[in-house]
């Protein structure tokens, strides 16, 4: 039997501390059994820096898509039936939820703009979704190491990307589902960490970063999200080692699938 060990955290950026702005990142983790499978869900959202209520938008996007994923599998949905159309319906639910929040506060929906990434991993399959920047990195534990699933979506101009409320959101979101029983490790991160973990010139993953960061997760004895590792990860994200290289909010989820000791 195998089970997931997880560390997950979001941390405010130094620029947001200086401007007395809230952390605009949000994340979510879930592990459950459904449809005869042990299923992992990981979600990250980054609120747009220019949006007035982006932190609310990010939290709403994370909670909504997690609810829709749970509902799908609770209603006997399977990975074989999980298509781009299903993912699009979840995106529609996120847009609807953001619209309701905007109406409740009397604000335009653009003030809740945010990105969205999620991974769903079962016993034999893995599904990935992305709209916006940040990225998902995965490894099958083979010699080729870590690789990105989708490259971050950046716009024509600096610091621009796609958001879940964009007019073309249903055209630009990326989705794939694979038969991937050997998937061992998955990481999701927001754009605040991109320059630390991706080589933009070569479009490759910073292998040493993930090899180092996954070591304590692999060694962790507790299953699911670790109460010890998550605070440690948050402290790391707020440390000078990270903050000297990025002043943005940052989220990072690390999940590794390991055998359960008898």
Report the alpha-carbon distance of residue 210 to residue 139 in Å, rounded.
10
Residue-level pLDDT at 158: 61
Residue-level pLDDT at 41: 98
Which two three-digit tokens encode residue 203?
């479009």
The yes-or-no verdict on residue 262 having pLDDT over 70 is no
Model confidence over 247-259: pLDDT tens digits?
A: 999 999 999 998 8
Model confidence over 30-87: pLDDT tens digits?
A: 999 997 899 999 999 999 988 999 999 999 999 999 999 999 999 999 999 999 999 9
Fold classified for 2-259: Phosphatase 2c; domain 1 (3.60.40)
Model confidence over 124-182: pLDDT tens digits?
A: 999 999 999 999 999 998 777 999 999 999 876 667 899 999 999 999 999 999 999 98
Which two three-digit tokens encode residue 232?
């440690």
Report the alpha-carbon distance of residue 230 to residue 226 in Å, rounded.
6
Instruction: Report the pLDDT averaged over residues 101-123.
Output: 97
Contacts of 198 (CB under 8 A, 6+ apart): 135, 148, 152, 204, 205, 206
Report the alpha-carbon distance of residue 31 to residue 45 in Å, rounded.
19
Contact yes or no for 100/93 (Cβ under 8 A): no
Report the alpha-carbon distance of residue 199 to residue 190 in Å, rounded.
15
The yes-or-no verdict on residue 89 having pLDDT over 70 is yes
CB half-sphere exposure, 6, CA atoms < 13 A: 21
Contact yes or no for 186/158 (Cβ under 8 A): no
Angle at 186 between CA 217 and CA 56, to 5 degrees: 95
Inter-helix orientation angle 229-237/207-219, to 10°: 150
Report the alpha-carbon distance of residue 86 to residue 90 in Å, rounded.
7
Q: Are strands 204-205 and 37-46 parallel, antiparallel or unpaired?
A: unpaired
Residue-level pLDDT at 228: 86
DSSP code at position 150: S
Model confidence over 197-255: pLDDT tens digits?
A: 999 999 999 999 999 999 999 998 888 888 889 999 999 999 999 999 999 999 999 99
Angle at 202 between CA 139 and CA 150, to 5 degrees: 45
Other Cβ atoms less than 10 A from the Cβ of 97: the count is: 20
């Amino acid at each position: 039997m195998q089970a997931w060990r997880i560390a997950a955290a979001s941390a405010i950026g130094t620029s947001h501390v200086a401007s007395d702005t809230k952390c605009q990142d949000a994340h979510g983790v879930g592990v459950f059994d459904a449809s005869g499978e042990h299923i992992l869900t990981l979600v990250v959202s980054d609120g747009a820096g220019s949006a007035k209520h982006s932190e609310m938008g990010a939290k709403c996007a994370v909670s909504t898509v997690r609810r829709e994923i749970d509902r799908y599998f609770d209603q006997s949905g399977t990975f074989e039936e999980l298509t781009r159309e299903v993912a699009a319906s979840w995106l529609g639910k996120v847009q609807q939820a953001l619209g309701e929040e905007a109406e409740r506060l009397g604000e335009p929906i653009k003030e809740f703009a945010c990105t969205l990434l999620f991974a769903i991993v079962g016993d034999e399959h893995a599904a990935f979704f992305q709209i916006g920047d940040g990225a998902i990195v995965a490894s099958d534990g083979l010699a080729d190491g870590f690789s990105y699933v989708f490259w971050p979506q950046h716009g024509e101009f600096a610091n621009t990307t796609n958001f879940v409320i964009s007019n073309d959101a249903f055209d630009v979101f990326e989705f794939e589902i694979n038969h991937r029983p050997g998937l061992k490790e998955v990481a999701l991160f927001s754009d605040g960490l991109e320059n630390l973990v991706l080589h933009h010139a070569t479009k490759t993953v910073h292998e040493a970063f993930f090899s180092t960061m996954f070591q304590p997760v692999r060694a962790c004895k507790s299953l699911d999200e670790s109460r010890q590792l998550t605070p440690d990860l948050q402290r790391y994200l707020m440390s000078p080692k990270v903050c000297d290289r990025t002043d943005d909010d940052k989220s990072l989820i690390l999940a590794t699938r390991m055998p359960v000791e008898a």
